[in-house]
């Protein structure tokens, strides 16, 4: 099973999600709870893997206002 590490940066309106080491793997989510689904959809499209066939380690990075 492949494992991907992703970071999430918060701005005023949404989280920007970036999978480390996967070219073009940047997406957004309004809520951090939606981050894994957004990342899975994107990574499956970019890698050709099944959406449930890999693991994601998500590391949220707080913005100036914390994790809101």
The model's pLDDT over 2-29, given as tens digits with 9 standing for 90+, comes to 999 999 998 888 999 999 999 999 999 9
User: Which phi and psi (to 5°) does residue 21 adopt?
Assistant: 80, 5
The CA distance from 46 to 13, in Å, is: 25
User: Which phi and psi (to 5°) does residue 45 adopt?
Assistant: -65, -45
- CA torsion 7→9→10→11, rounded to 10°? -150
Write down all domains in the chain, each with its CATH number in brackets. Answer: 2-61 (3.30.2390.10)
pTM (two decimals): 0.86
Q: What is the mean pLDDT of the chain?
A: 91
Q: Find out whether 33 and 39 touch, Cβ atoms under 8 Å.
A: no
Residue 68: is its pLDDT beyond 70?
Answer: no
Q: How confident is the model at residue 64 (pLDDT cuts 50, 70, 90)?
A: low
Beta strands in 20-68 (DSSP E): 26-29, 54-61
Q: How confident is the model at residue 62 (pLDDT cuts 50, 70, 90)?
A: confident
């Amino acid at each position: 099973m492949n494992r991907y590490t992703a970071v999430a940066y918060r701005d005023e309106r949404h989280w920007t999600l970036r999978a480390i080491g996967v070219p073009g793997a940047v997406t957004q989510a309004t809520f951090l709870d939606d981050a894994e689904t957004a990342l899975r959809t994107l990574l499956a499209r970019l890698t050709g893997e099944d959406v449930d066939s890999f693991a994601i380690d998500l590391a949220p990075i707080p913005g100036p206002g914390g994790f809101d």
